[in-house]
Structure 1
Amino acid sequence: MFANKLIARAMEYAAQAHQGDTRKGGEVPYIVHPFEVAMILKENAFADQIVAAGLLHDLLEDTEVGREDLKREFGVGILELVLAASEKLEGRDERSWDKRKNQTIKYLKEEAAFINKAVACADKLSNARSILRDLEAEPEDFWQRFSAPKSKQKWYYQSLVESLKELEGLKMYAEFKEVVAEIFK
């Protein structure tokens, strides 16, 4: 599927960095998420560098990989795309869920470039798909696995839809709106 050397290298790098990790509340290997993000970006005809950034987007937040590691392996361009897709890293653990999510919404709405919104949309669509699958499989106590209750999750995802509306016309944005509506109907 991905014959490009950059994408293949990013796949291998992400798989090694996320080795042994699983998705929140389940047994699914974590690497499924970055692979899905990359597939969404590829399906929406983004360049290989953007697809590679999709594969690597969670490394700085969730693994031991640092900025210099990414820069050395993939260059400044991909590092900047990954940084733009990450929550503000400094002091992240000390900030509340509300504060972190408000910062994300503000960034996407007011500051993010189109390409950064695209990576964010692919990421959030993958998360929303996962939520919908898990919610349909086990509706009882589903929302207990999250750091914030369903009402706040609803606010966050609906705010994401609004903050990404510049992507109107892209298949992934249309699906994101549909999946969010289905989750919180």
Structure 2
Amino acid sequence: MTWTPTVDRALAVAARAHEGQTRKDDPTPYIAHPVAVAMIVSDFTEDEDVVVAAILHDVLEDVPPSVYSAEDMTAEFGERVTEMVRGVSEEKTAGEETPPWRVRKEGYLSQLAEDSQECLLISAADKIHNLRSMAVAHDRQGEAMWGLFNAGPAEKLWFYGAIADTVSERLGDCAASRELRRAVDDVASLAPGA
């Protein structure tokens, strides 16, 4: 990931927006996740807007619009970045009642099937980091790791496998699709009864 003033601004916005949030598997400040996703996506593209959208990818989904809205993002980073972030965001708004897990995931998959290649790269990087984090959490906590999530192992693996299938179908055999499939297979090998 190459530092630029725009990347620096995106890091500052994400750090403020996710202030006080932590990851599910440990007390790591949440900002570590968007930074990791941006680092992973930068292995797949040099497009600065994609890296910036990767840094901001959870802001619209997890932060109330009163803190930072799509309009704020567009004013600061442009419509292209905002559209990429929208493309990888689930249908929920922080602070509002969210639809059930399966409904949100099916909506995400439907959207991903129509999204841009840039959104597919961000989604792949996001899921690669989530899956790698799950493997690390499993090393620390064993089977108890599965209890951290809103869905069981079969559902989680269905979702990640479906994303890997979509990325492979739409992007073909590329670094992103290979890394995502490897991460899915690694976590699948940790599932109970695997």
- TM-score, with length taken from structure 2: 0.88
- Which residue of 168, 171, 174 maps to 1:170? 174
Q: 2 CA distance for matches of 1:16 and 1:57?
A: 14
The correspondence for 2:157, drawn from 147, 154, 158, is 154
| 1:32 aligned residue | 32
Aligned position for 2:109:
105
SS of equivalent to 2:142: coil
Deviations 1:5-30 (A, max 9, x none): 11111111111111221101311110
Distance in 1 (alpha carbons) for counterparts of 2:143 and 2:181: 24
Checking the alignment, whether the CA contact within 8 Å between 2:38 and 2:51 is kept in structure 1 is yes
* Cα pair 1:34 1:57 within 8 Å, conserved: yes
- The number of aligned residues is 184
**DSSP-derived class of the 2:2 partner:** coil
Q: Where does residue 78 of structure 2 map in the other structure?
A: 75
Hey, what's the Cα distance between the residues in 1 that align with 2:119 and 2:3? 24
Give the TM-score of the pair, scaled to structure 1. Answer: 0.92
Deviations 1:116-150 (A, max 9, x none): 11111111111111111111221131111111111
Quote how far apart the aligned CAs of 1:90 are: 6.4
- Residue 125 to residue 93, structure 1, CA distance change in 2 (3 Å): farther
Matching residue of 1:41: 41
Matched to 1:77, the amino acid is R
Aligned to 2:100: 96
Contact 2:63 2:93 in 1 (8 A): no
Gapped regions of structure 2 (runs ≥ 5)? 190-194
Stretch deviating more after TM superposition (112-121 or 51-60): 112-121
Amino acid at match of 1:95: P
Corresponding residue for residue 129 of structure 1: 132
Amino acid at match of 1:96: P
* Residue aligning to 1:7: 7
Alpha carbon RMSD of aligned pairs, Å? 1.7
Q: CA deviation at 1:151?
A: 1.2
- Paired AA for residue 53 in structure 1: A
- The residue number in structure 1 matching 2:53 is 53
Per the alignment, residue 192 of structure 2 pairs with: none
Do the aligned partners of 1:41 and 1:51 also contact (CA within 8 Å) in 2? Answer: yes
1:118 aligns with 2:104: no
Q: CA shift at 1:93, angstroms?
A: 3.2
8 Å CA contact retained: 2:88, 2:108: no
Output one character per residue of 1:82-115: Cα deviation in whole Å (capped at 9) or x when no partner.
Answer: 1111012369734110111111112222x11211
Q: Distance in 2 between matches of 1:16 and 1:147?
A: 26
Contact 1:10 1:56 in 2 (8 A): yes
Q: 1:158-180: CA deviations, max 9, x gaps?
A: 11111111233332321111111
1:181 corresponds to 2:185: yes
